[in-house]
Amino acid sequence: MTNLFAPVAVDSASPRVATAAPAPGRAVLQLTGIEKVYQTRTIETVALNHVNLTINQGEFVSIMGPSGCGKSTLLSIMGLLDEPTGGTLELDGRPVQSYSDKELARLRNHKIGFVFQSYHLINDLSVLDNVELPLLYRSGVSGKERRQRAYAALEKVGLGARTNHFPSQLSGGQRQRVAIARALAGQPELILADEPTGNLDSVMGEEIMDLLLTLNRQEGTTIVMVTHDEQQALKTQRLIRFFDGSQVS
Amino acid sequence: MFLSYLKIAWKVLLRRKFFTFISLFGISFTLMMLLVMYAMVDYSVGPQMPELRTDRLLFITRMQLFYRDGGQSNSGLGYAFLDKYARTLRTPEKVSLSEHNFSTVAAYVGNQTLKLDLKRTDDVFWQVLNFDFVAGRPFNAQEERDAAHVVVVNESTARRYFGTSENVLGRVMELDAVRYRVVGVVSDVPLSRIQSYAEVWVPLSTTPANLRDPDYLGGYMAILLAPSAAEVDNVKAEFQQVVNRIPLPDPKQFKELRTRAHTLFASLIAHANGSSSADGASGLVVRVALALTLLFMLLPALNLINVNVSRTLERASEIGVRKAFGATTSALMRQFLIENIFLTLLGGLLGLGLAAGMLAFINSIHLIPYAQFALNGRVFGVALGLALVFGILSGVYPAYKMSKLQAAQVLKGEVAL
């Protein structure tokens, strides 16, 4: 089987699709001619229309656009949760189309962390158990190591004292911090955040945004964030705008 | 990870208590019924006192004689027949002859008449079977040869007759106006142990019947003890060879003679269907019992499948998140199966408790004389096995449905089962 996690040699001279801003590092994600069409018997809906995009290592990219323009679909495709109907997607320089369900799951587990608008924490599990989740599906990580790494991730988001709480006992902002800690626990190269401040008031939203910015600057974590908030989008290194499934800037 | 699955399973159980109650009730009630039935069967044919060595015991209890005109005679065997053809077998370690059925005798205690079940046996009977002697001893070969009027009595009968089961050795019991001296007291044997059951046992030689009667059919049976479990088939085969050489009692009248050495279970089947060739029948009974068990479990399993599938909706977000963070379809299937098996094991545990209660109730109403049904290691093993089968039966389909949910859709809140 292909070693999905072997170091990838990056050919900086290789032609890349034009992006909005110069890239600080190697390409983590490369989308070429990505299309997503939802087809029913009578209607064909184009969610993404020939999207070309490169996300480089260490970048903080925000994606904006009106509701229904395909932002979340794009994020799902970037996160290997959905398949495009056309085009190619490369993760760390390798096309992922031919990978099996098992291989895609392994890639998601090792390389990608997700933050969702509605947190999607498992209410039946404690904060610590929630944060451990990505490590549960990683072989060779002992229970002790899982605990340590989850605790370290929670410390990073300022919730080291809340490990035994349950999601229902936390505020919205705290829940989103837990969700970020969960995304960090597996030490992924890429964090995909789908409107992470969408359910929060402005103060908490700012806190979460600051946290993501800090992670990007201090840890060099690559972040792609879908947002409706122009102010927050402007704080990121690159802003991509979408309209009707197409990239407009 | 396993612990995490169990934590989730427990929380899911507590989340919708009514659904959980319905599911657990269905599982535990079904398992209770099956366990009660199994415990009763095990109590009747399992390795329990006095047929402790069921893996080595064989029983020759019936003979069928087929008439040329199509009819047949079917009953126990003649003593002389068994003496000649069973007692002389070389492969068994021991062969015991006894009356096939118990007879009822009267005993008087003051103005009260006791109807007692009496069985006549030889001395080897006490060696092939494992009675629990609370006092005294069985009658011996000398007493059997001498037709000594000695009796082994069960504890309850001793209490009813003498007012106590202690210090009754040497005392006299009058059964059908014949005086017998008590030489031993044994623990009660339930009626369900039909090959060994009685309330009083006396030497076979005390019978008023003619033991030299050459008639092949009669009121007797033989119990064979094989040297080891592995030798059982050899004993069966030797007896079959002997039977094949036995001349028909009247070739003009009969065309075939059938009798076999059966295991305890097969002998009970033979007893129930009045046949001497129950080897195939016992296999059929086991298969039918297994099929009925599965059928019996199907209804609550379908209910559980339904509940589980409807619960998929409330767990869609969790499924999406787990997939997003690296769970494969097979890992999710494993998780949901483990959760379901946890639920059914819990149901199995409750079912065991309910079964214990039901067996205690059956014991209290004396449904079967002297029966003290109880749970044991085998019943526990069966409960575990049934709960596992139940868990897999009701868990595979919902687990498959859950694991196949599209993460991208469920995380957006678009669930389509």
Hey, is the C-beta of A100 within 8 angstroms of any chain B C-beta?
A: no
Choose, out of A5, A114, A164, the residue to mutate when testing the contact with B (most B CBs < 10 Å).
Answer: A114
Residue B180: the pLDDT is 95
Asked if residue A5 belongs to a domain, the reply is no
Quick check: A17 pLDDT over 50?
no
- Domain presence at residue A58: yes
Residue A205 in domain? yes
Question: What are the sequence ranges of the domains in chain B?
Answer: 2-48+282-411, 55-100+218-262, 102-217
CATH label of the domain that carries residue A213: 3.40.50.300
pLDDT in tens, B24-33: 888 888 889 8
Mean pLDDT, rounded, of chain B: 87
Q: Is B147 on the interface with A (CB under 8 A)?
A: no
- The answer to the question of residue A15 being in a domain is no
| Residue B135 touches chain A, beta carbons under 8 Å | no
* Best of B405, B411, B412, B414 to mutate (most A CBs within 10 Å, chain A): B411
Asked if B43 and B197 touch (Cβ cutoff 8 Å), the reply is: no
Distance from CA of B13 to the nearest CA of A (A): 11
pLDDT at residue number A6: 40
Residue A176 contacts B, CB cutoff 8 Å: no
User: CA nearest A183 in B: which residue?
Assistant: B325
What's the pLDDT at B383? Answer: 84
Classify domain B55-100+218-262 at the CATH topology level.
Answer: Alpha-Beta Plaits (3.30.70)
Task: Tell me the residues of chain A between 2 and 41 that have a Cβ less than 8 Å away from chain B.
Answer: none
Q: What is the 3-class SS of chain B, one letter each residue?
A: CHHHHHHHHHHHHHHCHHHHHHHHHHHHHHHHHHHHHHHHHHHHHCCECCECCCCCEEEECCEEEEECCCCEEEECECHHHHHHHCCCCCCCCEEEEEECCCEEEEEEECCEEEEEEEEEECCCHHHHCCCCEEEECCCCHHHHHCCCCEEEEEHHHHHHHHCCCCCCCCCEEEECCEEEEEEEEECCCCCCCCCCCCCEEEEHHHCCCCCCCCCCECCEEEEEECCCHHHHHHHHHHHHHHHHHCCCCCCCCEEEEEECCECHHHHHHHHHHCCCCCHHHHHHHHHHHHHHHHHHHHHHHHHHHHHHHHHHHHCHHHHHHHHHCCCCHHHHHHHHHHHHHHHHHHHHHHHHHHHHHHHHHHHHCCCCCCCCCCCCHHHHHHHHHHHHHHHHHHHHHHHHHHHCCCHHHHHCCCCCC
Q: Which residue of A has its CA nearest to B412?
A: A72
A147 touches B: beta carbon within 8 Å: no
Residue B273 has pLDDT above 70, yes or no: no
* Dihedral sign from CA coordinates of A211, A217, A221, A226: positive
How many residues belong to chain B?
417
Q: Is A72 on the interface with B (CB under 8 A)?
A: yes
Number of domains in chain A: 1
**Domain that includes residue A224, residue range:** 27-247
Whether residue A12 lies inside any domain: the answer is: no
Higher pLDDT, B60 or A5: B60
Structure tokens at A105: 């799951």
pLDDT at A97 over 90: no
Global ipTM: 0.87
- Mark yes or no for CB contact B408/A81 under 8 Å: yes
Residue of B nearest to A74 (CA): B408
User: Å from A152 to nearest chain B CA?
Assistant: 18
Smallest Cα distance from B30 to chain A, Å? 29
| Residue A102 covered by a domain | yes
Residue of A nearest to B4 (CA): A129
With respect to residue A164, please indicate whether it lies within any of the assigned structural domains.
Answer: yes
Are B328 and A81 an interchain contact pair (Cβ–Cβ within 8 Å)? no
Q: Is residue A79 part of a domain?
A: yes
Residue A90 has pLDDT above 50, yes or no: yes
In this predicted structure, the answer to whether residue A139 has a pLDDT above a threshold of 90 is: no
